[in-house]
Structure formats: structure tokens, C-alpha cells
Amino acid sequence: MLDRIVRHLACPHCGAAQAMGERALHCSAGHSFDIAKQGYVNLLPGATKLRADTREMVEARDAFLSAGHYDPVRDALAGLARRTADPAVPGCVVDIGGGTGHHLAGVMDALPGLDGLLLDISKYAVRRAAKAHPRIAAAVADAWRTLPLRDDTAALVINTFAPRNGPELRRIIRHGGVLLVVTPLPGHLNELVGALGLLRVAEGKESRLAGQLAPHFSPVATERLTRTMALDHRALAHLVGMGPNAWHRDAREDAERIRRLPAPVRVTLSVRLSAYRLSA
């Protein structure tokens, strides 16, 4: 898929257009990026060490998502993409912080005429994302830095539980394109906050989202999704292990806390899906 998406990519060092070689991408200035055997490319400039999801965290997320627990989110996101994306706007679909590609794959099924690119800081996530759908390419990149994409190249950008860099999102989205954002609501996973010590959705999260995007985007649609998930102990372990709750936790203590819970546990899934277009 990289051969179909390369025209949208920019060199993370100099910003020049990228071209496809036999086993690497390269730009006119001579910067080169090897294509991994799994099909993805690392577009992080320099050797800066950043905290990224580990192999174990990605395995837990893949297991949880593959079991279908978040399929209502994927399906709602795909439906919103179908309703808001303008088929007359050229460009690709970009998933910022897209993890294993589970949600992006659903969007690609809803928009069969477009190619997709997933960016994530974790090479373990990107390895899986590169195989998540026939029309998805994947690259390692940092959402808080300049994205390795050309200006005005995305017809649709999705952002699910991931960092949002407003100026960069504005730069890469074409006029007429759309940004879809999924954020947790205060009741999300609420039953597990005390029982398992999960992080609570911070107060004011919605207002911070508005502040991040307000200078660049205007909201055009929003919807709430609330469901109840029935999670057995294995699913709970995957949920805890897939982050951000996974950082600095004691696995034995988590296992003991989960063991003391009934099975299954009824847990609230509650998110907001929002669509934005570029401000005038």
C-alpha cells in the first residue's frame, strides 16, 4: 500500500516530497527510510526516545478489539464518516494515533474509493496496522511533531482516543475535508475506576478539546454513543493492559483485583463522536 500512499507523504527531515524505491522511501535531498518487512515505514526524524505502547500493550489492545467490545465505536465512526465525507474532495484518509488499525479498517470499508494512512508512535501497533486492511498503509510518527504529510492532502482525518495537534491537523486537511474525533465521556468505564483503579475521565475534557481545535476548526456534527459491555475476567485484563492504565501498574495486583470481581462485569462504554470542518 505504500506505493499508493507515497504521493501524500513528506520527508520528516526537510518536508520534501517522498518517492518509492525498491525497499525504501526517499526524498530529493537524499533522506531515506527503510520499509520494514512487515510493510510499514518509520518516519520519526532522529533517534529521540519517546514513550510508546509496548508489545504487551498492543497485544492486549488487539485482543480486546478483536473480541468486538468496541465495535459500536468503530461502526458509529464509520457511519459518521459516510455521512460527512464529501466524495468530491480528493485525498486520503489519515488516522492519527490509530493503534492497530481496527477503527480505520471500519472507515475504509465505509469509504471504498479512498486509500488510508495510519500514523502511530508505537512500532508494535504500526506492524499490525499495516495488515489491518488492503487499503491501509502505516508509518511510525509522532502526533505532536510535524506530521510526515504534504499540505492539503487528507480528505478525512480520524482521531480516536489520541493526541490532537490542531495546527498540524489544519495543515494536512484539504478544503472541504472533515476531521472526526472520538473522546470518552465522564461515564466511560466508570464501574472500573474504583474496582480496578483505572484513570477517571478528567473534568473539563470536552472544553479542552474545543480549545485545541477552535482556532482551526468549526464543529458540524456531534453524537453520543453509550452501550453496556459484558466483560469476563480475560477481557478486563486486556482492557487494563492496553493503556494508558497499563503504565506503572503491578500485574499481580491487577490480576488479584480482577479475580475478586464477578464475571461478567457490566461496564459502560460512553463516548462522543464529533465532526469538524476547517474554519473560514
Domains of the chain, by residue range, sit at: 2-46+53-278
Exposure string for 129-157, b = 16+ CB within 10 A, e = fewer: bbebbebbbbbbbbbebbbbbbeebbbbb
The residues, any chain, with a CB within 8 Å of residue 189's CB and separated by 6 or more, are 198, 239, 267, 268, 269
Residue 48: per-residue pLDDT: 63
Rounded Cα–Cα distance for residues 61 and 143 (Å)? 20
The residues, any chain, with a CB within 8 Å of residue 58's CB and separated by 6 or more, are 99, 100, 122, 124, 125, 128, 242
Does the domain spanning 2-46+53-278 belong to CATH 3.30.390.30? Answer: no
Residue 207: per-residue pLDDT: 72
Residue 187: per-residue pLDDT: 92
Residue 251: per-residue pLDDT: 79
Exposure string for 232-248, b = 16+ CB within 10 A, e = fewer: eeebbbbbbbbbebbee
Helix H or strand E encompassing 194 = helix 191-196
Query: What residue type is assigned to position 129 of the chain?
Result: A
One digit per residue, the tens of pLDDT, for the chain of length 280 reads 899 999 999 999 999 999 999 899 999 999 999 999 999 999 998 766 778 999 999 999 999 999 999 999 999 999 999 999 999 999 999 999 999 999 999 999 999 989 999 999 999 999 999 999 999 999 999 999 999 999 999 999 999 999 999 999 999 999 999 999 999 999 999 999 889 888 777 666 677 777 779 889 999 999 999 999 999 999 999 999 997 766 767 778 888 999 999 999 999 999 999 999 999 7
